[in-house]
Amino acid sequence: MPDGTAAGGMAADGRSYPFPESGRAGGGRVGKSESFLDTAAIVRGTAASLVLSLALSLVLAGAVRWTGLTDQHFHVALYYGGFLSILGGAAWAGHMADRRGWLHGGFVGLAAMTVSLALTAAGMPGVLTAADVTLQALLAFLVGCLGGVIGVNLA
């Protein structure tokens, strides 16, 4: 076999592995796509991230309405909560993909931030600068990478 294992889950050096098809964890899973990227995992992770962000914004809107929370608190909580939702969606995508978690998570971060920035630009034209967009995209990608790594290791 190209990865140094013999049939039956035995490596060339005689050690046995729990996944006979490839000799490495996750490589012998039945039903997993063998393509480079699992687009379904990325789409589902992005959707999960956006749903988490929406739920957070609804909770925060209620808190602003019925408590002493100010708009400034709302924006700060929503900003950091958005990154936590990217972390969660990316972790789920990494878990579903079961490989290349950093890449799947990074794409979830970029996709979720793209939707978020597009909604921001549509609702408040002229508020975003190129530097803001670049920084937010970079942070979303890095947070997504972290979430994807966490998710693939939970698999």
Confirm whether 140 is domain-assigned: yes
Structural domain boundaries enclosing 52:
47-154
Q: Quick check: helix, strand or coil at residue 10?
A: strand
Confirm whether 100 is domain-assigned: yes
Task: List pLDDT tens digits, range 125-150.
Answer: 888 899 999 999 999 999 999 999 99
Nearest 5°: the CA angle 130, 136, 94 is: 140
pLDDT of residue 5: 46
pLDDT of residue 42: 95
pLDDT of residue 13: 63
Q: Are 90 and 47 in contact (CB under 8 A)?
A: no
Q: What percent of the chain has pLDDT over 90?
A: 56
pLDDT of residue 23: 43
Tell me how far apart the 2 most distant CA atoms of the chain are, in Å: 67
Q: What percent of the chain has pLDDT over 70?
A: 77
Angstrom distances, CA of residue 68 to CA of 73, 81, 100, 126:
10, 19, 44, 30
- The DSSP letter of residue 11 is E
- Total domains in the fold of the chain: 1
Confirm whether 71 is domain-assigned: yes
Confirm whether 143 is domain-assigned: yes
